[in-house]
Amino acid sequence: MKNLTLAALAAHIGAQFDSFDDDKIINGIKGLHDATTSQISFYTNRAYRKALKQTQAAAVILAPRDQADCPVAALIMDNPYLGYAKAAALFQEIQPFQAFIHPSAIIDPSAKISPNARIDANVVIDRNTQIDDFVHISAGCVIGKDIYIGEKTLIYPNVTLYDGVNIGKNVIIHAGAVIGADGFGLAHSSEGWVKIPQLGSVEIGDDVEIGANTTIDRGALGNTVIGNGVKLDNQIQIAHNVHIGDHTAIAACVGIAGSTKIGARCMIGGSVGIAGHIEVVDNVQITGGTIVMQSILEAGMYSSGVPLQNNKDWHKNFLRFKDLNDMMRRLRRLEKQ
């Protein structure tokens, strides 16, 4: 665990430092309730104002507008959440990388594994796959054939990469993710459903993070593409031939149907559903629970859905909703009169 002075920590995260105790030693970071006099905390949500006023932390990272409510030293930033991210990285315990191939790993002789890679227990690597320097593949992963994995990529346990997938450098793939499974391609016939072969693959850019149990389907003809710097939360479904632009972030339980194009620097909240064959342009924010059924061609924030209410009121409003079309026609008749 690192020990830093408050002054050094403030300099590292780029905060203005409001304290007379520059040499105070800090050994960790905790929430407002839990932080001790040797730890720092952060404050971004005014719902926690009471906790801020009662904190025992040595210092708190916060915005200028909140400094007056802070009873301890303040680390003042316009973006305190970014400051928190930088500070937390200082106290993260990171094990030094050690190149290693566990004897239980099954590796096809044609695979090209860097001598600087780490392959843990019970990993399976199929033919003609290439793994670059400082890649860490954790226990139980299945890596198909003709795959490329770029340098410094970390793959957590029990990830499955289907044949032909390309992974960039500095990628993090969390446990249970499946990349390159068949897209949901079916043609109907008089005898039932006929499976459409999925002949494309998946391309993952650099600096991408993919959450636990997230699935990214391979393309039907072309590839499914995840751009550089994309951040995907847990349990997201990305269908075949979807394109996601650079630095877009998507929260948990989102479903994106096939052949949809999501622009760069978008922010998509949890449990959003996005229909297939549409486009979302750059710099769009979609709030949680929204259903997107048509293209979004202008940057901005978009929402749908009905806010929570008690069941009696919801039922009355739902019944009225069915009458809206008739009410509109009557209103138009009155306006004409």
Asked if 202 contacts 216 with a C-beta cutoff of 8 angstroms, the reply is: yes
Within its chain, how far is the Cα of 91 from the centroid? 22
Structure tokens at 320: 């009225």
Indicate yes or no: pTM above 0.95: no
Rounded to an integer, the average pLDDT of 39-51 is 95
Computed over every residue of the chain, the mean pLDDT equals: 95
Higher-confidence residue of 239 and 328: namely 239
What are the tens digits of pLDDT across the range 148-174?
Answer: 999 999 999 999 999 999 999 999 999
Q: Find the helix packing angle between 6-13 and 80-90, rounded to 10°.
A: 120
The whole-number pLDDT of residue 288 equals: 96
Rounded to an integer, the average pLDDT of 279-283 is 98
What are the tens digits of pLDDT across the range 315-336?
Answer: 888 888 888 888 899 999 999 9
DSSP designation for 308:
-
Q: Is the pLDDT of residue 20 over 70?
A: no
Asked if 126 contacts 163 with a C-beta cutoff of 8 angstroms, the reply is: yes
As annotated, the active-site residues are 240
The whole-number pLDDT of residue 23 equals: 87
DSSP, residue by residue, 46-61: GGGHHHHHH---SEEE
The whole-number pLDDT of residue 1 equals: 53
What are the tens digits of pLDDT across the range 177-191?
Answer: 999 999 999 999 999
Q: Is the pLDDT of residue 287 over 70?
A: yes
Alpha-carbon separation of residue 260 from 164, 224, 276, 277, 335 (angstroms): 21, 10, 5, 5, 41
How many angstroms separate the CA atoms of 39 and 84, rounded?
12
Q: Which of 6-10, 80-84, 204-208, 236-240 has the lowest mean pLDDT?
A: 6-10
